[in-house]
Amino acid sequence: MFGMDLPVPRPQGAEPTGFASPARDYFDGGIDLNRHLIRDRTSTFIMRVSGDSMAGAGICDGDEIIVDRAVAPRDGSVVVAVVEGELLIRRMSMHDGATSLSTHPAHAGSPAEVLAVGGEAAVWGVVTRCLHHV
């Protein structure tokens, strides 16, 4: 999926949006997004998000997430989980030996959906970045 290194060109004559950077004269070349966003190419995938169940965490419908299958999930990680054969994005919580997955509701005051992990549920990978569309 990430076999090609495509440099992102620096636009010439772009309009300034703030004060000029003191390092502006020292920048030469493009930005390699693979180097900045991907830790391990062999275990990393990009997935498009469908739905707003994690909007409260800043992950919205149509965004792309970068998922690394080699990263070990920990308490508080946003993960892609397989629950009853379906891929879901949830925040993982571990308390007293029990693991649960919860949504972040789009609206304050809305209850979070909580699923206990076990049986037909497994963590597929850890979300490392969200590429949010504006």
Distance CA(27)–CA(87), nearest Å, equals 41
Q: Which domain holds residue 89?
A: 39-131
Q: Are 3 and 26 in contact (CB under 8 A)?
A: no
> Is residue 48 assigned to a domain?
yes
> Is residue 17 assigned to a domain?
no
> Is residue 111 assigned to a domain?
yes
Most confident stretch, 51-55, 71-75, 111-115:
71-75
- Average pLDDT estimate for 50-71: 92
> Is residue 12 assigned to a domain?
no
Res. 1 pLDDT band, cuts 50 70 90: very low
Q: What is the mean pLDDT of the chain?
A: 81
Q: Between 114 and 64, where is the model more confident?
A: 64
> Is residue 10 assigned to a domain?
no
> Is residue 26 assigned to a domain?
no
> Is residue 8 assigned to a domain?
no
> Is residue 81 assigned to a domain?
yes
Domain of residue 125, CATH code: 2.10.109.10
| 91-101 residue pLDDT tens | 988 888 778 88
Query: Which pLDDT value is given to residue 15?
Result: 61
Query: Which pLDDT value is given to residue 30?
Result: 79
Query: Which residue shows structure tokens 């997430």?
Result: 65
Query: Which residue shows structure tokens 């571990």?
Result: 94
**Cβ-proximal residues to 54 (8 Å cutoff; 6+ apart), any chain:** 60, 78, 89, 90, 91, 103, 104
Domain count, the chain: 1
Please report, rounded to a whole number, the percentage of residues in the chain having pLDDT higher than 90: 31
C-alpha dist (Å) from residue 33 to 41, 66, 95, 129, 131: 12, 12, 36, 12, 12
| 14-45 residue pLDDT tens | 666 666 666 666 666 778 888 888 989 999 99
